[in-house]
Amino acid sequence: MKIRDRLSLQFTIVSAVLLFLVLTAIYLVTWENQKKDFYGHLRERAITNAELFLAQDNLSEEKFRDVQKKYPQSLPEEIVRIYNDQDQSVFIKDSSFQWQRSIIDQVRREKSIEYAKGNRQIVGIFYIDNSGNFVILASAIDTYGFDQQRQLFLIMLIGFLISVCVLFFAGRLFARIALSPMIKVINDVKIIRTSSLNKRLETKEGKDEINELAVTFNNLLEHLEQSFEAQSSFVAHASHELRTPITSIIGDVEVTLSQERDKEDYKKTLENVLTESEKLNDLINNLFELAQTNIDITEFRDLRLDELIWQIKDEFGGRLPDSKIDLQYHLPEDTRKYTIQGNNYLLFIAISNIMKNAIKFSDNHEVTCRLYMNNHTPVISIRDKGIGIGKEDLQKIFQPFYRGSNTFGYAGYGVGLSLADKIFRLHNVRVTVQSQLDKGTEFQLFFSI
């Protein structure tokens, strides 16, 4: 079932239930008021009978005529009985119907009663007169009230059925109107393909759910477009970077094999092939590590940052004996404050890449690495005194294969920082970079606890 049909059906059911409850309440209140009104008429009839038969000697001639005028106005199927203290029916000589003594005694005890038996309503009153105490019971059937209630029921039933039909079609109309922006979004999305990720859904001012959906989808398209562009750029740059050492190897081998050469020439060619092969191996490893960061990493565990940067320093001490790294700790005694949830292998690669760049671009001058707390947030700062990064390059340093304009003459492929950026994003690490040309660069890594 489509959302439009489901919404219209739900709207109809809810509205029908509410309408049914309202109409039922009106019917019951009307019926109760009708019964009370008829009880009032019965009470008047009982008092009129009492005045007619018992108070004749106490009334003036004019007052008695007023009472007589009321008496002919009997109710439908009316029955009136007057009982004396001996529970004998007096004044009205009709033995076809008599009330039980229990009812008569109840009237004496309670002075006044009202009750219904089937369609018949009964009223009893205790009447005190100078000639004695009497019980007057009057009953009748409210045929006029029943007819009115029956007509009211039919009117309400027909009105209810017509209202339900109107509500259903009105619900479909309102659902169509309400969902029309969503239908437009669906139609717009259908025409978007990988070749047209630059298209965006139309948005309007306001904060309704449909507009938020369109904005969210536009953000998704933005990320997809950037991802596809990055992938295309990655493939293009990777192909170029891979082709360079391979072309160099092929060229050296072809030149060497073009004619007979002495032992030194062959040795030199093999050394060039080895050098280019090592470059190719490094590039492939970097590309593999870069691709690995796109895999969902779930092996997170408790990781102390002071131990991590100490491992990195030891690694550089073995690989680059000439490197100079000054570790500085400004930490509280509670180690939990700088213990994070992370993947040790990936963070080791990311921070090592930043450290390696700092050493490389400062020509092996001393690099300062500090670990400190900033408002309960652990921060790693890596600062060098190297060539720095230009303002035009600062916003692009995390792009794959991008290298600054002043890095000519330094080995590298522009993969390290891109790889580090992906790893930091996996760990929700905020990175800030400050740099000045020929004065150095400082990376600050803010870790979430």
Domain extents in the chain: 3-148, 209-291, 296-446
* Residue range 76-125, pLDDT digits in tens: 888 888 888 888 888 776 677 888 889 989 999 999 999 998 889 999 99
CATH class of the structural domain 296-446: alpha beta
- Of 389, 397, 440, which is closest to residue 418 (Cα–Cα)? 397
Q: Is the pLDDT of residue 59 over 70?
A: no
Residue 58 has a pLDDT of 57
Beta strands 112-117 and 89-90: pairing type? unpaired
What is 209-291's CATH topology?
Helix Hairpins (1.10.287)
Under CATH, which number does the domain 3-148 receive? 3.30.450
**In whole angstroms, what separates CA 171 from the centre of its chain?**
24
Give the torsion through C-alpha atoms of 95, 96, 101, 106, to 10 deg.
Answer: -110
| Domain 3-148 identical in fold to domain 296-446 | no
Q: Whole-model pTM?
A: 0.48
Please give the mean pLDDT across all residues of the chain.
82
Q: How confident is the model at residue 310 (pLDDT cuts 50, 70, 90)?
A: very high
**Are the C-beta atoms of residues 418 and 431 closer than 8 Å to each other?**
no
Q: Is the pLDDT of residue 395 over 50?
A: yes
The SS3 of residue 242 is helix
pLDDT, average across residues 45-51: 81
For the chain, give the percent of residues with pLDDT over 70: 86
Q: Is the pLDDT of residue 32 over 70?
A: yes
